[in-house]
Amino acid sequence: MVKENEVPAQSLEWRVNMPSGSSQILVPESRQTCRLLSLIMGFVSNVKKFFDKAWNLAVNEPKKVIHCLKVGLALSIVSLFYYTRPLYDGVGGNAMWAVMTVVVVFEYTVGSTLYKCVNRAIGTCLAGSLGIGVHWVASQSGDRFEPIILQASVFLLAAAATFSRFIPTIKARFDYGAMIFILTFSLVSVSGYRVDKLVELAHERVSTIAIGASICVFITMTLCPVWAGTELHHLISTNLEKLADSLEGYAAENFRVDGSKSLNEKDPSKRLQGYKCVLNSKAAEESMANFARWEPAHGKFNFRHPWKQYLKIGASMRSCAYCVETLYGGINSNTETPEFLKNPLNDVCMRLGTSSSNVLKELSSMLKTLTNSTKLDILVDEMNSSVEGLQNALKTLPSYQHIPTPDPKTEEAPNGTEESILKPTALSLMEIVQMATLTSLLIEIASRIEGIVKEVNELASQAQFKDDSSKTSKQTQTKLNENDGNEHEVTMTTLQKV
């Protein structure tokens, strides 16, 4: 039975009595339409935001768009082995393994693609040969012991290969190959119990995997290649600049003279994100260094380029970035350093922050140009002299602030006049700790920057960076030629006048 309940005129409500005694409220169709429209508008808005983010990513990083096109091209080429009858007959109908190989091994950088291709080839060939050998031994043992031998071989080799993935050296360079070995050996051993032509099957799968891997390697190395070594080199040099900007920005923000502008006033968040990028780049550095060792010589980098040294430089930068992070953490502290303690140290702290930043920027310039710097030693000496200046300035600071305080015992002097006795009042402990932490961190940052300098010089020695002498000699020769040309013009002008 349907009844119409009495409700306000603004919204009508219908209630249906159910047999069980419960009732159900019917929402007007206008409300349902509004909800449906809101859901559709929200969905359209989310789709629009997604495409805006995708467009911004494509504009900011066009290399990733090119990588997508290369993957599509590789899949299109390898699909011809499936669509074309002669090619399809040549691979025995297993062309789908070539397609699967392209999908699995094609990565963003050349090093990562070579890493997967080589690991897949080694793991497949080794597992296939062992699988055929074990199958032959099992077939010679009779029908009774054949499944036992196959199961025992799968158990032992799979367990051994899995354990090898926990070894750091194997995990770093051959983890993917160990996984492919386990997969291939298990498939060959299990399928060999029911398949008669096991050798032909293994040969066809190896050939299709080789076809897919060779297509991936050819495309990734010839069409706009993205080298992992170059990316790692650029990441380290950029992180040095970001760390320098963070350090210089902190010094300019906290020790600048009143009325002066901060060096990073246009984009204050940029220096804040600088040291965070250094702290968060450990995983990227390790993966790039691992993939770079698989790459051939390219650009300015030889085949035996010391990629491991970049990891040491990154570790030294992170140790310095932790101190910079602590400095920025002190900005939001509730305890402020007293002005009478901070003002005498403004100049020396500003000088130390600027000199430390200059050293980091010079190191970044060394990495970008792969040349030894003639100014680096001078900049390091300036940084050390700034450290000495800060230490000397700390010795001149007063340990007590003298404030006139009346003595309660002698409130009135014998001659009837009141006198005030000066007593030393100790500073707040938190104020002293705040200033001591600030100065000690600046000195520690300078010490850790020297560690970065040491690692970069070691890289320059191992990679045989060029000297600036050649560049200087070229500039000198150019100036001499210009001077000779000017003198020749003056001489000709004089002769014409005569």
For the chain, give the percent of residues with pLDDT over 70: 70
According to DSSP, residue 371 is labeled: B
Contact between residue 138 and residue 144 where contact means Cβ atoms under 8 Å apart: no
- From the DSSP assignment, how many helices (H) and strands (E) are in the chain? 17, 5
**Higher model confidence: residue 149 or residue 459?**
459
In sequence order, which residues have a C-beta less than 8 Å from that of residue 397 and are 6 or more positions away? 341, 344, 345
Give exposure, 456-483, as e/b (b: 16+ Cβ within 10 Å).
bbebbeebebeebeeeeeeeeeeeeeee
Instruction: Please tell us whether the domain made up of 228-256+269-398+428-469 is placed in CATH 2.60.40.
Output: no
**Residue 78 CA to chain centroid, in angstroms?**
33
The residue among 468, 310, 312 whose CA lies nearest residue 377 is: 468
Does the pLDDT at position 245 exceed 70?
yes
Q: How many CB atoms lie within 10 A of CB 360?
A: 27
Average pLDDT over residues 160-189: 89
State the pairing for strand pair 400-405/421-426.
Answer: antiparallel
Does the pLDDT at position 18 exceed 60?
no
Does the pLDDT at position 87 exceed 90?
no
Does the pLDDT at position 182 exceed 70?
yes
- Alpha-helical segments (H) within 141-227: 146-164, 168-191, 198-222
CA gap 270, 252 in Å, rounded: 14
Strand partners, 371: 466
- Mapping DSSP to helix (H, G, I), strand (E, B) and coil, where does residue 427 land? coil
Lowest mean pLDDT among 150-159, 422-431, 440-449: 422-431
pLDDT confidence tier of residue 150, bands split at 50, 70 and 90: confident
Does the pLDDT at position 417 exceed 50?
no
Average pLDDT over residues 433-462: 89
Backbone angles phi, psi at 405, to 5 degrees: -130, 130
**Higher model confidence: residue 174 or residue 333?**
174
Average pLDDT over residues 349-376: 91
pLDDT confidence tier of residue 119, bands split at 50, 70 and 90: very high
pLDDT for the residue numbered 406 = 47
Average pLDDT over residues 263-271: 52
Average pLDDT over residues 421-445: 68
Average pLDDT over residues 160-166: 93
According to DSSP, residue 401 is labeled: E
pLDDT for the residue numbered 473 = 44
| Average pLDDT score, the chain | 77
pLDDT for the residue numbered 412 = 47
Strand partners, 422: 404
Single-letter amino acid code for the residue at 184: T
**Higher model confidence: residue 488 or residue 36?**
36
Does the pLDDT at position 443 exceed 70?
yes
Q: How many CB atoms lie within 10 A of CB 358?
A: 20
pLDDT for the residue numbered 448 = 94
CA gap 8, 4 in Å, rounded: 12
pLDDT for the residue numbered 332 = 59
CA gap 213, 234 in Å, rounded: 28
CA gap 280, 271 in Å, rounded: 15
Average pLDDT over residues 322-349: 72
pLDDT confidence tier of residue 380, bands split at 50, 70 and 90: very high
Contact between residue 487 and residue 388 where contact means Cβ atoms under 8 Å apart: no
Give the pair of three-digit tokens for residue 439. Answer: 């100065």
pLDDT confidence tier of residue 307, bands split at 50, 70 and 90: very high
In sequence order, which residues have a C-beta less than 8 Å from that of residue 165 and are 6 or more positions away? 171, 175, 178, 179
Categorise residue 11: left if φ over 0, alpha if ψ from -120 to 50, beta otherwise: beta
Give the pair of three-digit tokens for residue 491. Answer: 């001489």
For the chain, give the percent of residues with pLDDT over 90: 32
In sequence order, which residues have a C-beta less than 8 Å from that of residue 21 and are 6 or more positions away? none
Kindly report the pTM of this predicted structure: 0.76
Lowest mean pLDDT among 25-39, 273-287, 293-307: 25-39
Could you tell me the residue ranges of all domains in the chain? 53-222, 228-256+269-398+428-469
**Higher model confidence: residue 495 or residue 315?**
315
CA gap 209, 114 in Å, rounded: 14
Average pLDDT over residues 108-129: 90
**Higher model confidence: residue 208 or residue 166?**
166
Does the pLDDT at position 37 exceed 60?
yes
